Amino acid sequence: MKKALKFMLLSLTLLIALCVGLFGYFVYTPDPVEPVLTGTLTKATIDVNGTSYTYRLYQPKDLAKGAPLVMVLHGSGQNGAQIRMETGYGFERLADQHHFAVVYPSGKSFDWNDCSRTGDFLVDGRELDDVNYLNNLVDKLVAEHGFDQAQIFATGVSSGGFMSLRLALESPTRFRAVAAVSANLPAAENFKCTPELAGTSVMIMNGTADPLVPYTGGDASLFGLFFNSGKVSSAEASATFFADKYKLLSSPNPVNPLTTSSATTANSSDLNTASNLPNDPSLSHVQRQNWRGEGRVEVELISIIGGGHGMPQPYWQRPRILGPSPMAPNGPELIWQFFARQKP
């Protein structure tokens, strides 16, 4: 009896150790070091139709009136503080250099209420209007701080990326450009948005080895069990949707998105000269496709060859469960470069 009990205790101990080890290997990753920044981060709330929302606003020191504003949207089950950390404080580093403000709104539901019919959008049995919430937040910040209404930008990762695409479709008069990371448009049967006619410039940045949001389209979920967003289009079809909508005829020659030799490719230091990253041949490769017309609207697809789910950046490695986590290119910097060339 004692031997059996000892065997059971030993087995249980080994099982717990195995679970802890697997969790540490696949899920745990240390937080990035918070940099020394010039500005201030404030936490505040906004009431929209009886619902109170929290947001965090970063403003560099001595930021002038009329500065741009970048909105950064978190992923499923997260909040503004988490996406601030998981982007390696990258947007604030850039804000200090290029003189813009950054706002991190927190949603109420598990998923942002994006263009997908499938998702966890309910709060107390009802769907919240996140487009209205974010529009009201922009109006409040412009009124209080004097940000330039013609230079309001939105970006997001995962569910936040899906929500950014909804803002491009349904609130183009407020957002000059959006950048969606690890997000595609929902497939036709999963699409619920009503696009407006005005054009917002759109960047889509996706990894080709993303285990949650398939680069080539299909069911968006983790192992078919978690974070279910329904069927999505491919990254290239999502970019082409906007290019066709905006009638951008000067699109690039068609290329195989997964064949680096047939397209414009470079390592991170080629695309991201200001990031001071090492010229390491092991760094993830990047393919850029761009659609432009004669007007001011632009569509760009950034494919991170071999990249997983999340924002590529040199400050923080994502959990292994989300796929390969390249430390390059510097995603926030590529996004800001895209935003900065969108003229009012």
Q: What is the pLDDT of residues 117-169, one digit of tens each?
A: 887 777 877 888 999 999 999 999 999 999 999 999 999 999 999 999 999 99
Low-confidence spans in the chain with pLDDT less than 50: 17-28, 252-284
Q: Tell me, what's the pLDDT at 165?
A: 97
Domain locations in the chain?
38-215+233-272+282-340
Q: Tell me, what's the pLDDT at 275?
A: 33
Q: Tell me, what's the pLDDT at 9?
A: 56
Q: Tell me, what's the pLDDT at 42?
A: 97
Q: Tell me, what's the pLDDT at 318?
A: 76
Q: Tell me, what's the pLDDT at 12?
A: 55
Helix ranges (DSSP H) in 87-127: 90-98
Helix ranges (DSSP H) in the chain: 2-26, 80-86, 90-98, 130-145, 159-170, 235-245, 268-271, 331-340
**Which CATH number is associated with domain 38-215+233-272+282-340?**
3.40.50.1820
Residues whose CB falls within 8 Å of the CB of residue 42, separated by 6 or more in sequence, listed in order: 56, 57, 59
